[in-house]
Amino acid sequence: MTKKAIYPFLLFFLLLTACASEDSAENQDTETIPRNETAPVIMSVETNFSEKEGWVVVPAKSTALNVTVEATNADTLLFWIVPTGTESWGERELIGYDINAKDGWKVTWNITGKSLHHRLVVQALGSDGKTITDETINITNE
């Protein structure tokens, strides 16, 4: 009786192995992950100051920081300044926003007399009303 019970199990195991191994390598190599084509994409974030060792360096006595962004599929761009350090997102300050892509995504921030050692976070809100992406640059005084 034990031999009769083993045969269906072996047959099932053989079929399962054949089905699993037939195309699995091909599927793993050619599988594509669907991408949300309406999600916002930030291609670049530029300022009017040069970058040195991963930090945008603002010269002493500067009065304005200009930020320009190349982005697609965005409806609104938010520009936040966040102190460096861990868990500091709650201390962020909205320094500007842009809702008009026709003239380019940009903001000018008055930095007269400000001491800077911050992260500038650009958030792009998707034109689909559901998606968001962000890009961060580091900013410090000279």
Identify which of 39, 107, 99, 40 has the alpha carbon closest to the alpha carbon of residue 69: 107
Percent of the residues in the chain that have a pLDDT greater than 90, as a whole number: 66
DSSP string for 40-62: -EEEEEEESS-EETTEEEEPTT-
- How many other CB atoms sit within 10 Å of the CB of residue 14? 10
Side chain identity at 125, as an amino acid letter? L
Q: Phi and psi (nearest 5°) for 53?
A: 55, 45
Q: pLDDT tens, 5-18?
A: 665 655 555 454 55
Residues (pLDDT < 70) of the chain are 1-36
Beta 55-58 vs 132-141: how paired, if at all?
parallel
